[in-house]
Each structure stands twice: as structure tokens, then as C-alpha cells.
Amino acid sequence: MSYQVAIVGGGLAGKALALALADTSIGSIIFEREKDFYSNDNRVFALSNGSLRILDHLKLLEELEEDSYPIEKIHISYAKKFGTSLIHASEENVDILGRSISVKKLNELLNEKIANSELIDIRYGDVELIKDQKQGERYQLKYHDSGQHFQFDPALIIACDGLNSSVRKTLGIKANEKDYQQIASIFHVSAKKEVQFTAFERFARDSAIAMIPNGKDHYTAVWVMNAKGFDQEKFRDSQYLQSAFNESFGKRLGPLKVKDNTSFFPLKRSISELSYKKNVLMIGSSAIHLHPIAGQGYNLILRDIAVVAELLGNQAKKNNLNLKQFLNEYDQWRHEDHQKVSTFTHGLGKLSSGSLPFVKEFFGLGLFFFDTLSEGKNLLSKHTMGLTGRMPKAMIR
């Protein structure tokens, strides 16, 4: 079978992309180095209303809903400061703002759908990007398996190989990087008080906490702290972690009990200087990697995927792949969304690091006034749900 599209990277971005392409009758082949990458991943994604529409379009949402939890409200506050803000789904004319979905469950479902698709092939092993010796204006892929080498010559190569993209490096494309000098600690907690369907964003002097609800009194906590002086060994002690976390988050949910060990991730922003070169397109973290405090990473990826599938699907109907037209239109379409989300998450990253002391002094008061301005809240909520600007058809209701 010949493939018009080859996807380098079989993570959640690459697999979802292959399924979106299959939905438009476009076949693809995925190359992935590791087979069970998500088998022990205990993270939870807070997927926005816009992302849920995309998953619904791909006929994935119904099966994910059983193990997900709706988010109807987002409570924003600043520790020891006056003023809070509450974003509510009912005020935005949507049933829910989003859902918390298990990364492990999502990966399992994507694997199941791919295994049952006649339009998707997946190969595990090493793959490298090479220049076409006959046509220097394009790239091919060389796949290594059990000592043998196989060459693939797809019309389009899409890199979904993550933050440290080998494809981007081979292309010689630089990335603008910002090291936030922060550590994200991720773990699960149970709460004494029950506040249904509510996610929390809480900022402090030099840290920030996102609480994603997994059930009536269970949350996934993402605690962002300064890396300077951070002692991982202390935070691996569940009793120390529990005590420190309760002190930082406060008493809004009553005593919080840590349910498992924590995972640590250094935080940085990375934005590729180009989104494509020749016949290679980059999406996901290979193109743009964000600060996680606002939970926008995979939501942005799903919008990228929906646009790729729509544009290629339109060309497939004409039986004519105009690669230059596709790449230019994709780049122009997605530029504004990438820029807005990057600026928004970067600002929150700086706020949580303590690098904006003047803003912090007035943040609580700002929240108070923001909560009274329906237009401002509406704009922010629509932005975080991905329901602004030009949207792919998969998101339009």
C-alpha cells in the first residue's frame, strides 16, 4: 500500500491525526520508536468544549465520556489576595466548558481505532528523515527494523515527534525557546469538601496550581514551582508533599489528601521558527510547546489536526494534492491561534514564576473587577475553549 501521508511520532498527536485523516478517506503510515509510551501515564487532560467537538466529529467522544468528568466552572484566585473570578458554562451558552480525560484511556481508545482502520498502518522502530537524492526539493523517510532498511517516499511528511523533534533538527529549523526555570509536580488528591464540576486555577507569590476534577471529590493537581532551590527528594515524601500542598492551595476544599507519588517535569516554551519546509509539516510540540498551567497544549494540537484533515480532505475530493497550497493555507490559518495561545500561556507562566511583581500586587483586585465584566469573561472563556477566530468544520455547531 502506498501512502500519501507519513506521520513521524505515534503519540497522542500522531495517532489522532491519522484517525482524522482516515475520516476523510486519506491513508497514512505512522512511525513510532516506543510501543507502550503511555502505559504508566497517570496524567489527565482538561479538554475544552472545542476539543470535545473535534473528538465527537471523529466518533471518539462517546466512548471517552464514560471515564471522563465534566467541567462546568473554572474558579480563579490568588492566594491571600482579595478578589476571585468564576467562569461558568451557563454564562457562555454551552452545556460544559470541557471534560477531564485520562491520557491512558485516550491512548487505549486511539490504539483500538487504529487497529481497526484499513487506512492506517503503524510501524515501531527508528526512522530518519533523508533528502531525496533525485529531487533535492523534497524529503523521504528511512525506516530501520531488525537490521533491515526500508525507504518511504510519501507526498507529505508530518512531524509529531515532540519537543525535541529530530525531524525539526534534521531540517535545520531553529526553535525559539524560553526556560521558565520552573518545575511542574503532577499528582492526584482527594478533597474533604465536594465542589462538583469545578476546576481551580490558584496563583501564589512564586507558584501556581491547577486542579482538574476527576470525580466528585478527586482531582489531578498540577503544581508549578520555581526550580531554584527545589528539592525533589522532599516532594517525593507524600507526607511532606501533602502538608506543603495544603498550605499553598488553602482551605477552599478542606483538607486535601495526596493519593499517589508525584511526577516532575521541567517547564519551557518552544516555538519553531517555521511550521514547514519542503514537503514536511510540523504540528504538536515539534512546532509549538507551551507552559502547562492553562492546559492548552493538547487542545491546540487537536485544532491543528482538525485543520490539517479539513484542508487535505478538500484536496482529496478533487484527487489532486497541491502541497504548496495546502502548506501555505495551513500556516496562515493556524498562525493567529498559535500566537494568541502562546502569548496567553506565556503570561501565566511569568505570573506563576514571580517575575511580574507589580502585576501580582493588583492581581486580586483585577480578578474582582474582571468577574464583574461579562464581556471580558466571555472573551477569555471563548478563547480557552478554542471557540474564537476561524474554526475548522469539525468544531462548528
Q: What is the pLDDT of residues 147-205, one digit of tens each?
A: 889 999 999 999 999 999 999 999 999 999 999 999 999 999 999 998 889 999 988 77
Q: Which of 186, 149, 314, 350 is nearest to 262 (CA)?
A: 186
Between the alpha carbon of residue 53 and those of residues 63, 96, 127, 386, 395, the distances in Å are 14, 12, 33, 10, 5
pLDDT at position 109 over 70:
yes
pLDDT by residue (tens digit) across 233-264?
999 999 999 999 999 999 999 999 999 888 99
* Cβ contact 120:30 at 8 Å: yes
CA distance 348 to 294: 8
Residue 9's CB is within 10 A of a number of other CB atoms, namely 27
Local confidence band at 372 (pLDDT 50, 70, 90 cut-offs): very low
* Residue 247 CB burial class (10 angstroms; 0-12, 13-18, ≥19): exposed
pLDDT at position 146 over 50:
yes
Which pTM value belongs to this model? Answer: 0.92
Better pLDDT: 356 or 85: 85
Between the alpha carbon of residue 154 and those of residues 139, 144, 225, 280, 309, the distances in Å are 9, 17, 44, 10, 16
Alpha-helix runs per DSSP H in the chain: 12-23, 49-57, 61-65, 103-115, 166-171, 232-236, 238-249, 297-317, 323-353, 357-361, 363-372, 374-384
Q: What would the mean pLDDT of 69-89 be, rounded to a whole number?
A: 82
- Grid coordinates belonging to 339: 500566537
Give the SS3 label for residue 354: coil
* Cβ contact 245:262 at 8 Å: no
Mean pLDDT score of the chain: 89
Give the SS3 label for residue 350: helix
DSSP bridge partners of 86: 75
Local confidence band at 362 (pLDDT 50, 70, 90 cut-offs): very low
* Cβ contact 141:31 at 8 Å: yes
What domains are defined for the chain?
5-68+99-177+268-351+368-395 (3.50.50.60)
Of 217-226, 325-334, 346-355, the least confident: 346-355
* Residue 168 CB burial class (10 angstroms; 0-12, 13-18, ≥19): buried
Q: Which of 55, 97, 106, 81 is nearest to 213 (CA)?
A: 97
Residue at 207: amino acid letter? S
Q: Which of 82, 74, 43 is nearest to 185 (CA)?
A: 43
**For residue 352, what pLDDT is reported?**
62
